[in-house]
Structure 1
Amino acid sequence: MSYEFNSYPDREMLVIALADRIAGELRGALARAERVTMAVPGGTSPGPVFDDLCDVELDWHRVDVMLTDERWVPEDHDRSNTRLLRDRLLVGKAAAARLLPMYLPCREPEERLEELAETIRPNLPLSIVLLGMGTDMHTASLFPGADTLRDALSRNAPILMPVRAPGADEPRVTLTAPVLGGALSKHVLIFGEEKRAALEGARGKSAEDAPINAILDGAQVHWAA
């Protein structure tokens, strides 16, 4: 497994460089295809990247944007990653992009999982995926100890998997390892010494113990303290 580790003097420099890199990759992908798809995480770390990216000049009306994973809560819920996208990425020039949903109203994700997967299927492989990583070495909603982790890591995994994990307050739905790992361009964003140590600690571990290892091969890792 090999990946490129990019270290930056500070978080502001990382955000500027990463947003510029993704914008360039989107332009390149749009030159080769009529539509392109970018998958991005929720959480606090990517917000500043979204703030820079949303006003980049490109053909956003030909870009499909989706989440790598989502909490199974309504889109107006405080913990909704979709809400974050609508507030910070799908604004400005990027408001012209099309959002592929990762939540549909129902009680449990299993009820409408296939319906969601069918909207994603024509957009694979992903052109670009941006991921984060937790100190437990999870990425997207591929958590160590999650009930469906082994199936989500399988090379025969479906597009989406429902996830229930220790410490997670609600069910989640996530793109599976083959979908994330099969993206044409992969970026991992991490901040802080603790996460750098976790990334280094993932070396040699199985993907079940360190799910980040399922997608790292060929990825660009972007880190600042």
Structure 2
Amino acid sequence: MKLIDYPDREMLAIDLANRLAGDLENHLLTHETATLAVPGGTTPGPVFDALCAASLDWHRVRVLPTDERWVPQDHPRSNAGLIASRLMCNRAAAATLLPLHAPAEDPADVLAELEAPLIPLLPLSVLLLGMGTDMHTASLFPGADGLDAALAPEAPALAVLKPCGQPETRVSLTAQVLDGALSKHLVIYGAGKREALERAMKLPPEEAPVQAVLSAITVHWAA
């Protein structure tokens, strides 16, 4: 794990966007397409605002959420909706979005349908993750129903999770898919999350799920 400290969040967003663009560009030098997996939430928004203007062959980039609440894309809590509005604009509008939601009441009923287009794109080319103070990442929450299956080495690409205290069921890329990304970045803000990351390094993934993806990752932190 490599940790980069930034003097402020604005500088972090600009530098991280440049690094993600560089990773994608390098991948596209030797591959027909590149796959970029990114989180939802408020943290990555400024990164997306900078990244979407990068001069890349965006038509060759496939973008997907690291995880999704089981809500349609036009729902205010949809990660895909945030990604579409904040990242897939400007030059990045030419990229292709692969959602992790389909019209069904139970995600388990359509999990194979969602997984099928992802399998040929693995391993992920570039991954951006966030982390909560509870040490969750993507939708791998401590204590969540389905966490053990999502952490298993032989897990499929996607898992259904039901985090305690969260209103929606989630679909998430599993730990083995996240950890297997060719280029991995984690963005966190504030002293609380930095302390949580330090705690996670001493705990098993069952208690601190982010620990499952920390190998060879670059952590970007600003107060």
Is 1:127 equivalent to 2:125 in the alignment?
Answer: yes
C-alpha separation between the residues in 1 aligned to 2:214 and 2:99? 25
C-alpha separation between the residues in 2 aligned to 1:26 and 1:109? 30
Map 1:1-225 → 2, pairs under 5 A = 3-225=1-223
C-alpha displacement at 1:65, in angstroms?
0.3
C-alpha displacement at 1:203, in angstroms?
2.0
Runs of 4+ aligned residues of structure 1 deviating over 3 Å after TM superposition are none
C-alpha separation between the residues in 1 aligned to 2:180 and 2:88? 24
C-alpha displacement at 1:202, in angstroms?
1.1
C-alpha separation between the residues in 1 aligned to 2:25 and 2:76? 32
1:7 aligned counterpart, secondary structure: strand
C-alpha separation between the residues in 1 aligned to 2:69 and 2:90? 25
> Which amino acid is the alignment partner of residue 152 of structure 1?
A
C-alpha separation between the residues in 1 aligned to 2:79 and 2:119? 21
1:95 aligned counterpart, secondary structure: helix
Identify unmatched segments of 5+ residues in structure 1. none
C-alpha separation between the residues in 2 aligned to 1:50 and 1:155? 31
Q: Deviation per CA, 1:29-58, whole angstroms, max 9, x where unpaired?
A: 000100010000000000000000001111
C-alpha separation between the residues in 2 aligned to 1:90 and 1:133? 22
C-alpha separation between the residues in 2 aligned to 1:16 and 1:224? 12
Q: Deviation per CA, 1:165-205, whole angstroms, max 9, x where unpaired?
A: 11111100000000000000000000000000100111221
Identity of counterpart residues, as a percentage? 57
C-alpha separation between the residues in 2 aligned to 1:105 and 1:16? 36
Identify unmatched segments of 5+ residues in structure 2. none
C-alpha separation between the residues in 2 aligned to 1:64 and 1:203? 31
Q: Deviation per CA, 1:80-129, whole angstroms, max 9, x where unpaired?
A: 01110111101111000011121001111111000000010010000000
1:119 aligned counterpart, secondary structure: coil
C-alpha separation between the residues in 2 aligned to 1:34 and 1:74? 30
C-alpha separation between the residues in 1 aligned to 2:137 and 2:82? 18
C-alpha separation between the residues in 2 aligned to 1:151 and 1:83? 27
1:32 aligned counterpart, secondary structure: coil
**Count of aligned pairs:** 223
> Which amino acid is the alignment partner of residue 139 of structure 2?
S
